[in-house]
Amino acid sequence: MNQGNEGNNWEKDVLTTIATEGLKEQKSTRRWGIFFKSLTFVYLFALLVMLNPGFQESTTKGEKHTALVDLKGVIAPGAEASADNVITGLRAAFEDPDTAGVILRVNSPGGSPVQSGYIYDEILRLREKYPDTPMYAVISDICASGGYYVASAAEKIYADQASIVGSIGVRMDNFGFVGAMKKLGVERRTLTAGKNKALLDPFGPEDPTVVSHMKGLLKSVHDQFINAVKQGRGDRLKEVAGMFEGLIWTGDQSVEIGLVDELGNSSYVARDVIGEENIIKFTVEPDFLERFSKKIGAQIGTLLLEKELTPQLR
């Protein structure tokens, strides 16, 4: 009996030891799991910081600076270059008592004439409200259509010699599939209340009356654009053929015809024109997750395209 009890105790001791070691191993595994998860989090956070180095800079009280607001991308509601974002940045820049001058750095192919008009009008209002704070537009790669609409409200416009400038015009795109539908045997069935409610329907034939009406609408918006440019640029414009018909020019050509005042970048304007080399950004940035997703998308796109589809100087 004693030998049997001793055998049972030995087995229990072994099982207890195995269970204890198992629990210790599980705890150790959890600790290492937590450690590696934390390490992964730290790595991803560091990666985010590296991918997003341009956090909003804050001003230092009492130090004069040049305020910089970026207008980049398509000008449209909800976009990075929406009127809300650009105007918010401009107001903050002008209202800062330490701002010696404001630069609107433009890199935009244009966009909504309404959004462009909002920004244009606000620039004129801010310039009138703060007459002692100069405001300049600086063009980087492109300042076309609505982008130039906005820039023309500035006191002066600067550009690089290779910048693309102009495209003072209005466009509306449409397609027609009537012929293709006939070949495919597709019948169009559209019900409207109001004979012009389906105007510019790509599945119906062109109506000369509607086309004439839409051309008149485009001309009205075009005239607003031209008047805004002429008001902003004044007698500096040397009107040439095609200036208000959608043509584009390089930066140095634009200086010759008065679309641009001088060649220069943001650093030059801050240092030599405004006189405050210290530049503080007042650009309204997208939220953190949005910036991260855009950066990741851009990185993946670059890898996939291998930069071969983009014209480059080599």
Catalytic amino acids? 145, 197
- Rounded Cα distance between 129 and 136, Å, is 16
- Rounded Cα distance between 79 and 287, Å, is 12
For 142-205, the DSSP string reads: EEETHHHHHHTTSSEEEE-TT-EEE-----------HHHHHHHTPPP----SSTTTTTT-TTS-
- Rounded Cα distance between 151 and 116, Å, is 10
DSSP 73: S
Taking the C-alpha atoms of 234, 239, 243 and 248 in order, what is their torsion angle to the nearest 10 degrees? -90
- Rounded Cα distance between 115 and 82, Å, is 7
Q: Which of 262, 266, 284, 283 is nearest to 274 (CA)?
A: 266
- Residue 3, C-beta contacts closer than 8 angstroms, at least 6 positions apart: none
Q: Which of 95, 139, 145, 155 is nearest to 248 (CA)?
A: 145
User: Cβ distance 148 to 113 under 8 Å?
Assistant: no
CB neighbour burial string for 281-309, b if at least 16 within 10 angstroms, e if fewer: bbbbbeeeeebbeeeeeeeeeeeeeeeee
**Which residue type is seen at 133?**
T
